[in-house]
Structure formats: C-alpha cells, structure tokens
Structure 1
Amino acid sequence: MIYLTNGVRQRRYDVFKETNGDFYHLAQMTRKPQEVLNKTADQLAEYKLNMAKYVLYGRVVGVERADKVIGRTVLFIDIDDEGNYPDTSKSLNDLLEAYSVLHVIYPTISNNVKEGARLRAGVALDRSVTAEEYLKLWSVLLTSIGLHGDDTAVNKSFKQLQGLYVKTSQNAENEPIIYSDGHTLPVDEFIKIYDASPKKYRKNTLSINGFSVETSKKNVPNWAEHNKKFIACLLDPESNYMLFDGWDNMLTAVGGWTFKNTYGDVRTTVETVEAVNKLGSDPISNSELKHKFDTWFKRWGV
C-alpha cells in the first residue's frame, strides 16, 4: 500500500494501491517529478513543509500519521553532506546494480542548496519487513559501501516519511538514476548476512553527543548495564533510541524506568518523557504522548 502526504504537516495519509506494485509507483514519480523552478532557498523550504510529496510504502494500521506502521516494502537510504552528488550516487548505484536490485536514486530538494551530497535511494524489497529487519538491511548496505547514511530516517518510530523527487533549478544538474531491469532485494538473504556478523554492522556502543561509549566491560552487573542505556537515552535519545528497538519503545521504557526509580512520582515521569521526546528530530505528537501516559498510569494503578 502507498501512503502519501503533501508536506510534512499533514496529519492523515492519502492512501491508495498501485496495481503494478509499490516500486513501480516510486519509479514513475521519479520519472515525472514535481517541478519547482526559479525559487529561492527560503521558498523551497516553505514548499518542502507544505506542498512536496512524501511517501511511505508498506502497511499502516489506520490512516493517521500517529498510527502504527507494521511493515515497509521499499527501503530508503538518505545521504546528507558526504562527498558530492555525482561520486556518491555512482558508488551507491554501482553497489545496488551489482546485486541487480531494483532501485532509484535522486537528489533531494536540498541538493545544491545545502553543502555536500544530498540524495535519497529507494530499494525495492521482495517482501514487507519489520522495523528490526529494516534496520538490518539498511546497515548491511551502508556498511558494504562505506557510506554514512542519515540514521534518523531508518527507524525513528518506523513511520518516518521520505520525500519524493522534486526537480528544482538548484538540483536539476544532478539527474536521478532509475534501475528497473533487476529484481527485488532478497530480504532473507541479506538478513542472514547481518545475523552472521552482527558486530560488523552494529557496534555494541552507546553514543552520547558524538562520543562512543563501550558497554562491554567485564564484571559489570546487569542492572548497571541496564541503567547506562537509560542514561544514554536521557542525554542523547536521537543517537540511542535503537537500544530499545524504536522511538516509541524507548519512550515507554524511559517512562517505566523513571516511574520505578522515583517511587511512582507521576510529575517527574511526565516531565522526563516529555523532555526526551522533544529532543528528537521527529517527536511524537502531544495527543499520542497523552495516550501513552493514560495507558501507562492505568497499567501502573495510578
């Protein structure tokens, strides 16, 4: 299924099904993009907020942006501020083409407005994947090519939208790549690659303000390792939410941990979770957060 919005402020999806498949839709939207020419950087930023098309391919339980995403059928890789567009897009295309995997690569609306390569790749998957599987596929591809992708778009709460190709006067010199003669990426085979060498693709570290902190010291009790994860999320949730397999899971865990360790202090629990949520680049809505509090406190007998 295909879930679209116009701009990032729309709270409901426009939902439809492409009979030729989700990747076909992505390829068509890349061949015939929106065009926003002769606009300033400020005008493009406003267009991005309110009119640019954003997409999620997969399955959502409902039609609200706050609803749970249970699977995705296209993997997106975002590259920001690394090298230049021609070299970076060629490296990424060479890798995906070597696997004969269906994909598109296109400059984002920020390309040649902000410095460095600004591009997005969409890769067709042979089946719908969960949040954990999505992260594994993303990690294997990025590690294989030696690039640093924007990991906030991987599994923020497994419902982050990706912008479709918008042709601007600024990015027009960088042509998109559409590889439509291959096959879908074999999900299970790539997951096996990850599972065979997990340390290679996901180091056992906490990241706090750009610093990596090892978590594998000997003779450290389990409760101490457990608490270190919570402290890392309190200081830098954007870098560490995947320690709990997703943004929503992280907020739930932080809420329970705070409630327990403050002897059931409701106010401190609410303020802590709200503060952590605000540190994210795409925090969940206040209404969704309120629903979480209602559920938690009912469960805890408050």
Structure 2
Amino acid sequence: MIYTNIVNTKAPMKIEKLRDNRDFSFFKDYEPQSFPYPANEKQEREIKLNHMKIIIAGTMTDLHRNNDNLKSRSLLFLDIDGVQEPETDMMAKIELKLNGFNYALYPTLKYKPIENVRYRLVVELDREVNAEDYQTLIFGLYETLGIVYTFDQSNKTFSQAQALPIITEYTKEAQTRYQDDKKVFPVDTFLKIFRNNPNYTQAKPKQKPFYKSNHTNKKYTGAFLDELVAGAEHFNRNNWITRQIGRMLSVGADLETVYKMIVVVNENFLPEPLTQKEVYETFESMTKKHSRGA
C-alpha cells in the first residue's frame, strides 16, 4: 500500500488508491507539487513540515507512523545528497547498476545543478521486507552504486517517510527517471550477496563489549557523554531528548552543534528514534526558552 501525509500533522497517514495494485506505479501517475526554491533554512523547514507530501510504501498495522506500526516496506528509498562527483558520473553509475530493474529517480527540494546535487532513488522490490532486511538492502545498494555522496542518517530509521517529487525553478534542469519495463529487484538474491560483502560485517552494529571503567573520579563531561550513549527507554524519549538539549545549551554550545549532536544521538542511541519533526520541534522550543533566560 501507499501511505501519504505531510510531516506537521497529527492526522493518520492517508491510503492512496492505485490503478493496478502496484505500489511502484504510484510514481508514474503522481503529479509533483511546485514550490519556490527555499531562500533560507526557515523557508525550507516551512515547506518540509507544512506543505510537502511524504510517502511510505508497504504495510502498516496502524495509520500513525512509527517503527512499531510499520510492518514492512515494498519500495526501497535511497537519499543521495550532497553528491561530490559530476552529476553525469552519478547518473551513469545508477543506469549501469540498475539497468535491469525498475526504479524511479527524482531531484529533492534543495537540488541545484553543480552546487547542490540531491536525488531520491526508489527501487521496486519483489517482496516486502522487514526492518533488518531493509537496512541490509540500503547498505548493499549504496555500496554497489559507489556514488560519492553525503549519507543522510534518516535512512537508518525504518519508519522514516520520504518526500514525494517536487518542482522548483532548478529541478527543471534535473534528470528524472521512471524505468518500469524491467524486472523487480530480487530481494533474497541480493540479501545473500550484500551480507557476504566484507564491509557489511564491519558496518553491522556489533555486540556491546564489556568495559571496566578506568575513571574513579569522573568529570561532568565524561558523565554527560556516558549518558548520551546510554540513551533512554522508549517511554521516556521526549523528556530525555529535551533534557540533553538543555544541558548542551547550558554549557554554551553553538546552536548548530547542539542540533547536529542531538540528531546523531537520536538516530544512533535510542531504541527507536523520534521523528525528525519531533526532534526539531523540541530543539526549537528549548532554544527559545534558553534565549529568554528561562
């Protein structure tokens, strides 16, 4: 199934009607939204949170988007951001590696030729996959494509929704693709290939080793870092994130540093990350409160 919504809403995801019961065909019929290229971060957030449509393809047990309610995914989404090689080279790699499979490729909101090349790749899978298999496929495709890019940490979150195609004054120059006359991507075949990749073993989360503390007189910074890595229980995530942001602000860290740190902590050290919207709204609330001297 295809589920759509916007980020900044408490309304449940909407189930989209498909003409042929193929999730991938949704992209063939979809009419992109049009937006002006964001002039600054505030305008970008406004578009992303309140106007731009997002999508999840797969099976949800409840229409409220989170990792618990998302049972499986039917399409694989890869964000290719901040491409650090010529755009023509990136395109050539995708065409070569995915020539035999159905895929869609479209520019994202901040796409600008040469200066800021950003695309979203959508691959049709031959079966729906769970969270573990989805992460393996993400790793394997990134490795296989060999594109020099900036990794978006949101790809690690199973229930992370992706923005649908859009049009700006710059995307008219981008190279969109919708290849629908090939094969669907054989999940089980490639899971075996990817898991036999030596880099996959290195990339997998390793069992936490046992360490004996070598500090009997732990300083504030050491205790704080330990707490960040320890994370929080599922039921206490929001309060925990709020407290950590407040602690970083209280010691004078730059706002950019605080936000980047809390995003990394959220994605890597919580049993189930909060959504980008929840993290940003908490960060924004705390920075306003801090600026008032509260």
**Shorter-chain TM-score range:** 0.5 to 0.7
Cα 1:73–1:203 shift into 2, 3 Å: same
Is residue 2:12 matched to residue 1:26?
no
Task: For residue 64 of structure 2, give the secondary structure of its aligned residue in structure 1.
Answer: coil
Distance 2:180 2:122 in 1: 12
* Contact kept in structure 2, 1:84 and 1:116, CA below 8 Å: no
Mapping for residues 150-229 of structure 1, pairs under 5 Å: 150-156=151-157, 158-197=158-197, 199-203=198-202, 222-224=209-211
Q: TM-score, normalised by structure 1?
A: 0.66
Is residue 2:277 matched to residue 1:283?
no
Q: TM-score, normalised by structure 2?
A: 0.68
- Show the counterpart of 1:298: none
Distance 1:76 1:236 in 2: 29
What are the superposed Cα offsets for residues 52-92 of structure 1, whole Å, 9 maximum, x if unpaired?
Answer: 11100001111112452110000011111123433323322
- Show the counterpart of 2:137: 137
Task: For residue 167 of structure 2, give the secondary structure of its aligned residue in structure 1.
Answer: strand
Is residue 2:62 matched to residue 1:92?
no
What are the superposed Cα offsets for residues 18-75 of structure 1, whole Å, 9 maximum, x if unpaired?
Answer: 242100002322xx322235x5524455222211111000011111124521100000
- Show the counterpart of 2:101: 101
Task: Tell me the CA shift for residue 168 of structure 1.
Answer: 0.7
Distance 1:176 1:164 in 2: 13
- Show the counterpart of 2:72: 71
Distance 1:3 1:27 in 2: 16
CA RMSD of aligned residues (A): 3.5
Task: For residue 49 of structure 1, give the secondary structure of its aligned residue in structure 2.
Answer: helix
- Show the counterpart of 2:53: 53
* Contact kept in structure 2, 1:89 and 1:105, CA below 8 Å: no
* Contact kept in structure 2, 1:79 and 1:150, CA below 8 Å: yes
What are the superposed Cα offsets for residues 189-246 of structure 1, whole Å, 9 maximum, x if unpaired?
Answer: 001102223x32342588xxxxxxxx79xxxx94239xxxxx9x96877xxxxxxxxx
Aligned residues: 235
Identity of paired residues, percent?
Answer: 25
Distance 1:106 1:133 in 2: 24
Unaligned 5+ segments in structure 2 are 213-222, 246-261, 268-272, 280-294
Q: In structure 1, what residue type is equivalent to 2:140?
A: V
* Contact kept in structure 2, 1:77 and 1:150, CA below 8 Å: no
- Show the counterpart of 1:9: 8
Distance 2:191 2:138 in 1: 10
Cα 1:88–1:36 shift into 2, 3 Å: same
What are the superposed Cα offsets for residues 164-206 of structure 1, whole Å, 9 maximum, x if unpaired?
Answer: 1101102211130111111110000001102223x32342588
Task: Tell me the CA shift for residue 283 of structure 1.
Answer: 2.3
Cα 1:189–1:35 shift into 2, 3 Å: same
Unaligned 5+ segments in structure 1 are 207-214, 226-230, 238-249, 257-266, 287-302
Task: Tell me the CA shift for residue 271 of structure 1.
Answer: 4.1
Distance 1:40 1:149 in 2: 20
* Contact kept in structure 1, 2:74 and 2:125, CA below 8 Å: yes
